[in-house]
Amino acid sequence: MKQIALRIALLAVSTSVVVSGCNEADPGTVPSEWGYPEDTPKVEPVTIGLAGEKPADVVRYLMAAGVLQAKISPNGERVAYASRVTGEPQLWIVDSHGGASQQITFGSGISGFYWAPDSRNLIVARDSEGNERQGFYLLSDDGAREKELLPQSDAYRQFGAFSDDGERFLFSSTERNGLDYDIYVANIGGGKPTMTHAGEFGFFPEAWQPGGDLVLVSEVRGEDANDVHILDLSSGEMTPLFQPDVAALHASFDWRPDGKGFYLATNQDREFSALAYYSLKDDKLTFIATPEADVEDVSLSPDGQYLLWTTNHEGYSWLQGRDLANDADLSLPDLPDGVYSISFAEAAPIVLLGVSGPAIPGDTWVWNIATGELVRATESTLAGLDPATFVTPVSLRYPAQDGVELQGLLYLPSADYCPERSPVAVNVHGGPASQSRPRFNASTQYLVNVCIAVFDVNVRGSTGFGKTYARLDNQEKRLDSVRDLVDTAGFLRDQEFLDGERLGVSGASYGGYMVNAVLGAYPDVFDAGISVVGVSDWVRALEEAAPFLKASDRIEYGDIREERWKEFYRVNSPINTAHHIRVPMMVSHGVNDPRDPVTESDRIVKTIRENGGEVTYMRFPDEGHGLRKQANRVAFYREMAKFMDEHLVGAEAADGGH
């Protein structure tokens, strides 16, 4: 489901503070003035301390830089990837056999990129100061020639797919009315794009049939689901393909080279996503692998012989594959533990394998499946940090008070140099249709090395644990997931190897909402909180959501056009309980945020301060839904380290806990 994947991928390029989630605001939203200049962070020269110091400076963890996104060229000869090693996310090219990388974009950074079929050019997407209104530019693979294809505007755009010859590409955009995502076809040579389908809410082209005119189109249906249609470009006819009674996810489409059908991952009529194949001729969906875990990435070799896929086990990726011609399992390469991405080149039996793990900020391996050769194409920098100090989490499961089983990943500080019982920072992911997984996280590895345990929680509503679990927080059940944080705190207090009397809670985007909510509704549970770009007023958030999010929000949250849901969120938004917050808070927001306007944080900060509460507010004038610029990220991380040290590590002598 490309539109969900893109939301995550775009933010992975633009920020490490926010992962995903929450609603896009109407383009006309203008942040109010804020009369407290002291809340605008002061950017100072970057210092990182000496290599080998214990504990290492937080900025060293921030500067541990790897691959954020990676794509292999269609001919399999090169890898394009995004990295923020120079400060902002830029595009780099490296030979698929490894070697020196070449930076090919400069300036304010990129928000996405896509190889053209000729393997000599790419489309690069850029927005303005994090506003997520992308323009598209054709860039040569050496960075020497660039052409504007579609300039930035007030419209949201999302890239879809190239035609086989590379002369045309598909994209979705709100150009027509600023509200609905329509599908367009554009010519690389220039000219005005042609609308091929007028959509309602969110329609997104996913995969163009090889040698044909058919395009798989995804229509948003909930935070964790979508319907699928086939668009015939020759006639403009849109035909429904998958519209199950119970909403399901259909994702990671890959056509057979003859265009007669395609592989995908779907949980249609199932609890977990399975590997499946759809035949156009038979109009039949056949399940191939049905593990009790989600199948995620699916990729088929260009000759149709080899099929690879990944499955999600407690957040870790497992790689699997079949030789379809010989009906045999593939002998797979040995990769580091973590979260994987996989993709075949379009014209060679060469696979790009991406890995992000607790000790790997993000790297790529290139596997020639025909010869068995495996080459590490990129080498992330650890900024002088000792990889032996990185902590691998353990998965813990525990019951909520209503019997629902919850899960989380615990990063425990080393007993070699930390006290027997460490304070705990509970981290809540965004989404809510997302999952805390064992990727590299700079702040997590910093905190465990200053003797603060980190618990990445997956409350109900998280993905990765089945369709039922992902929908346990829908609509009127919204507050059940907030209560899960209370039960999480109780579980952590019962662990003798943790100091459960010193608990902090943090989150970004939807996770920021969860922090705002739990600190107001349950003011005696946590000792401190960090909220980044979080919602405080759901009525505003749902009324001003972007079109494809409005389509999903009606299922996830309830239709805000109905008075019963408007009243529900009038009563149950965090702004209504903010006056109960009495623990220290750190709040951060970008003034240009198009998803949750900065006024969401302004209001909660103002309410807390008016009631005598303690808030450190970082209001960035040149950022959006996250932090893209290195100087701003340094300022945030330094303040975060200071805040955690003061209110968790230094809190032991100050009070006796709860």
424 vs 564 pLDDT, higher one? 424
pLDDT at residue number 6: 37
Look at residue 548 in the predicted model and tell me its pLDDT. Answer: 56
Q: Mean pLDDT lowest for which of 6-15, 107-116, 167-176, 558-567?
A: 6-15
* Mean pLDDT, the chain, integer: 89
What span, in angstroms and rounded, lies between the C-alpha atoms of 333 and 636? 39
Q: Do the bridges between strand 422-428 and strand 498-508 make them parallel or antiparallel, or are there none, so unpaired?
A: parallel
Stronger pLDDT, 413 or 11, i.e. the higher one: 413
What domains sit in the chain, N to C, each tagged with a CATH number?
A: 2-61+384-651 (3.40.50.1820)
Would the pTM of this model clear 0.75, i.e. be above it? Answer: yes
H helices, E strands: number in the chain: 11, 36
pLDDT tens profile 486-524: 999 999 999 999 998 999 999 999 999 999 999 999 999
E strands within 119-245?
121-126, 135-140, 146-150, 157-162, 168-173, 182-187, 194-197, 203-208, 214-220, 226-232, 237-242
Residue whose structure tokens are 């009906």:
327
- Give the model confidence (pLDDT) of 428-460 as tens digits: 999 888 999 999 999 999 999 999 999 999 999
**Lowest pLDDT segment from 3-17, 36-50, 63-77:** 3-17
Look at residue 627 and tell me whether its pLDDT is greater than 50: yes
- At 530-566, the pLDDT tens digits run 999 999 998 887 887 655 566 667 667 767 788 888 8
Predicted confidence (pLDDT) per residue in 233-288, tens digit? 999 999 999 999 999 999 999 999 999 999 999 999 999 999 999 999 999 999 99
Show the CA angle centred on residue 520, arms to residues 519 and 523, nearest 5°. Answer: 60
The pLDDT, as a whole number, for residue 551 is 62
pLDDT at 157 over 70: yes
pLDDT at residue number 545: 66
Q: C-alpha distances in angstroms, 297 versus 81, 147, 237, 360, 586?
A: 18, 32, 29, 20, 36
Average pLDDT over residues 137-148: 96
Residue 1 in this model has a pLDDT that exceeds 90? no
Least confident of 33-37, 140-144, 225-229: 33-37
- Convert 557-623 into a string of H (helix), E (strand) and C (coil): CCCCCCHHHHHHHHHHCHHHCHHHCCCCEEEEEECCCCCCCCHHHHHHHHHHHHCCCCEEEEEECCC
pLDDT of residue 617: 97
Q: Judge whether residue 15 has pLDDT over 70.
A: no
The mean pLDDT value for 45-70 works out to 86
Percent of the chain past pLDDT 90, that is, above it, reads 72
pLDDT for res 547: 54
